[in-house]
Chains A and B, each alone.
Chain A
Amino acid sequence: MTGWRSIGRVQWGWFVAAAAVLALLPLAFDTHTATVLLIWALFAMSLGLMWGFAGLLSFGHSAYFGLGAYAYAISSVNMGESTIPLVLAVLVPALFAAVVGAMMFYGRISDVYMGVITLVVTLILFKFMSATAGDAYRIGDARLGGFNGIPGFPTLNLPGFPEISLYGVPPYYVCAASLLLCYLLSRWILARSFGRVLVGIRENEARCELMGYDVALYKTGIFTISAGMAGLAGCLFANWAEIVTPGLFALGQAAEVLIWVIAGGLGTLIGPILGAMALGMVKLLLGQQTLIDNSLVLGAILIVVVLAIPRGVVPTVQRAWGWRTRTRRGRAKAASARRRLGGSPGESA
């Protein structure tokens, strides 16, 4: 189990390498596909942050993804530019999550009921948004559009210059920067007392309460932050797809992100990111064929991962790497001790 000694540490070498790869990727890879993979990675990381470190499992994290997308689409239609809508796409889901979270956590509901409530919230949003086809359902100039959603809203523009839209490679860099910044923000949160208390809550909520911490406040806090990040991912997705539909709140979307996080590995930030990118890529490739159902394959992958590597890929690799390093260090120490005693390294073999 991960303690909090290392969770806030950014391994800058890896971080710079990853940033360099992301910066150079457009030279060798289709940015349209890469962009959506980064968006899904951000979405999965937002869930991994609160699930893996605070132990809060939301079955309906897609609610905040969808709210971010809708908040952006509605406000950008009304404002005709993207800067304030981008901020609203983070704030609206965050505030919504703060209200839902406060009700759940101060209401002291158990983990199981939290799962049920979060799932029900996203399904209610799905049902509601699907039923907004009439002309009466409009916010300002934006018609909600029912099952067909909202198409044709202004996409990202250069802040302060609504006439300069970002197309092609620039949105890819916006997504890459968003992911990297949210990663750093998450690490910063985890390195502070707030993050350490969250890990304490994951380990033993009752004890944290008896240490004097307001557990409900901490849980509401991380739920809100996580929802804000999911909202940002939703906003970027809306820009990528250039349409928002109730499908963003659907059960499939809610389930997919859970599979990405489980497969990548709980208790890490990089696990959900890699899980989302790898399985997202599988999903895109499977989408190009009709031989086998997409969901069936993802379900099979989930079963295999849960049975074969229940910790997820990244924690399993980290564990194996740590064991290998410890074994090497142990051998080196033993060899050094033998040398000090005057023997040769091979004598004891």
Chain B
Amino acid sequence: MSGVVETHELTMRFGGVVAVDRVDFTLRERELRCLIGPNGAGKSTFFKCLTGQLRLGHANGRVLIRGSDVTGWRSNQIVRLGVGVKTQVPSVMNGLSVEENLWLAARRVHGWEGSPGAVDETVAELQLEDIARRPVGELAHGRRQMVEIGIVLVQRPWLVLLDEPAAGMTGDEVERLIEVIHRINQTAAVIVVDHDMEFVRLLGAHVTVFHQGAILVEGSAVRVLNDPRVREVYLGNRAA
């Protein structure tokens, strides 16, 4: 069965360093997948290859999204397919209010007339009412993360790519985020990149572990987190 996302022999080199090494990966419709791995494992580079933030040539392998070969596409072209992207560092418009950020995201998808309604819905869904008119630059890191997730959500994507969405969030915010991700997953396939094992366990998703640019192991969260190879990768010799 063809997947929502497929990569074939995906490779990315920076000079002599191979950051992603011939990765074959498949994500099915409505699947929730976590990509984990220690720092430098290649998961964020892999993520950027999927989103078009790193431009690919055909020497880098192939990326297919719902059957379309998006290798070499710019990120705005990939997003227009119906893909929502949240980056590792919150990428928001600090000088604009929360509503204005969401409106800009909604405008392309819902048009001038439909955008205010979509914005109100997203503000209510993410409980951002108290900060809706405040400039995003004034908000704490965790709230800005939530605003960026709102930017993704308001576009009603069928594929959502989230890079470290829980970073800098409080415990309550993380719980709320997990609820939101599960709700998104009811209508969209989701890839979450993270290195926080506890967050991954709470999400309860299928997990792909990256190590040295390649896939080390894939499986359920419980099985993968108890895998001795994964423990070794994360904890080094202490796991032995």
Contact residues in A for B107 (Cβ distance below 8 Å): 193, 196-197
| C-alpha spacing A197/B107, complex, angstroms | 9
- A203 pairs with B76, CB closer than 8 A: no
Interface residues of A in 194-252 (CB under 8 A from B): 196-197, 199-200, 202-204, 206-215
Q: Could you tell me the distance in whole angstroms from the C-beta of B214 to the nearest C-beta in chain A? A: 27
Central interface residue in B92, B107, B109, by most chain A CB within 10 Å: B107
- A204 pairs with B93, CB closer than 8 A: yes
Contact residues in A for B100 (Cβ distance below 8 Å): 3-5, 196
| C-alpha spacing A200/B74, complex, angstroms | 18
Chain B positions 41 through 85: 1 when the CB is less than 8 Å from some CB of chain A, otherwise 0: 000000000010100000000000000000000111001100001
Closest to A206 in B: B91
Contact residues in A for B104 (Cβ distance below 8 Å): 196-197, 200, 208, 211
- B96 pairs with A212, CB closer than 8 A: no
Contact residues in A for B95 (Cβ distance below 8 Å): 1-3, 202-203
| C-alpha spacing A277/B91, complex, angstroms | 39
Q: How many A-B residue pairs have CB under 8 A?
A: 73
From A197, A210, A212, give the contact of B87 (CB < 8 A): A210
- A210 pairs with B96, CB closer than 8 A: no
B105: Cβ under 8 A from any A Cβ: yes
> With A5-B100, A196-B104 given, is the CB distance from A211 to B155 under 8 Å?
yes
- B135 pairs with A210, CB closer than 8 A: no
> Interface on chain A toward B: helix, strand, loop, or mixed SS?
helix
- A200 pairs with B75, CB closer than 8 A: no
- A213 pairs with B91, CB closer than 8 A: no
Interface residues of A in 1-60 (CB under 8 A from B): 1-5
Interface residues of B, count at CB 8 A: 28
- A4 pairs with B96, CB closer than 8 A: yes
| C-alpha spacing A203/B136, complex, angstroms | 11
| C-alpha spacing A3/B138, complex, angstroms | 14
Chain B positions 134 through 167: 1 when the CB is less than 8 Å from some CB of chain A, otherwise 0: 0101000000000000010001000000000000
- A204 pairs with B74, CB closer than 8 A: no
| C-alpha spacing A273/B94, complex, angstroms | 27
Q: Could you tell me the distance in whole angstroms from the C-beta of B52 to the nearest C-beta in chain A? A: 9
Q: Could you tell me the distance in whole angstroms from the C-beta of B23 to the nearest C-beta in chain A? A: 22
| C-alpha spacing A5/B98, complex, angstroms | 12
From A193, A200, A210, give the contact of B76 (CB < 8 A): A210
B97: Cβ under 8 A from any A Cβ: yes
Q: Could you tell me the distance in whole angstroms from the C-beta of B213 to the nearest C-beta in chain A? A: 24
Contact residues in B for A3 (Cβ distance below 8 Å): 95-97, 100, 135
Closest to A1 in B: B95
- B96 pairs with A200, CB closer than 8 A: yes
| C-alpha spacing A204/B93, complex, angstroms | 5
| C-alpha spacing A193/B103, complex, angstroms | 10
Closest to B85 in A: A210
Interface residues of A in 39-98 (CB under 8 A from B): none
- B151 pairs with A211, CB closer than 8 A: yes
- A207 pairs with B76, CB closer than 8 A: no
From B51, B93, B108, B155, give the contact of A207 (CB < 8 A): B93
Contact residues in B for A204 (Cβ distance below 8 Å): 91-94
Central interface residue in B53, B76, B104, B105, by most chain A CB within 10 Å: B104
Contact residues in A for B155 (Cβ distance below 8 Å): 211-212
| C-alpha spacing A208/B155, complex, angstroms | 13
Chain B positions 182 through 195: 1 when the CB is less than 8 Å from some CB of chain A, otherwise 0: 00000000000000
| C-alpha spacing A68/B87, complex, angstroms | 43
- A213 pairs with B108, CB closer than 8 A: yes
Interface residues of A in 168-211 (CB under 8 A from B): 193, 196-197, 199-200, 202-204, 206-211
Contact residues in A for B25 (Cβ distance below 8 Å): none
Contact residues in A for B79 (Cβ distance below 8 Å): 209-212
Q: A residues bordering B, Cβ < 8 Å? A: 1-5, 193, 196-197, 199-200, 202-204, 206-215
Nearest 6 CB-CB pairs, A to B?
A1-B95, A203-B93, A212-B79, A207-B91, A212-B80, A200-B104
A-B contact pairs, 13 of them (CB 8 A): A2-B95, A3-B135, A193-B107, A196-B100, A200-B93, A203-B96, A207-B151, A209-B74, A209-B75, A209-B79, A211-B79, A212-B108, A215-B76
Besides the known contacts A210-B76, A212-B79, A212-B80, 5 further A-B residue pairs in the complex with CB atoms under 8 A apart: A4-B100, A196-B104, A196-B107, A203-B95, A208-B104
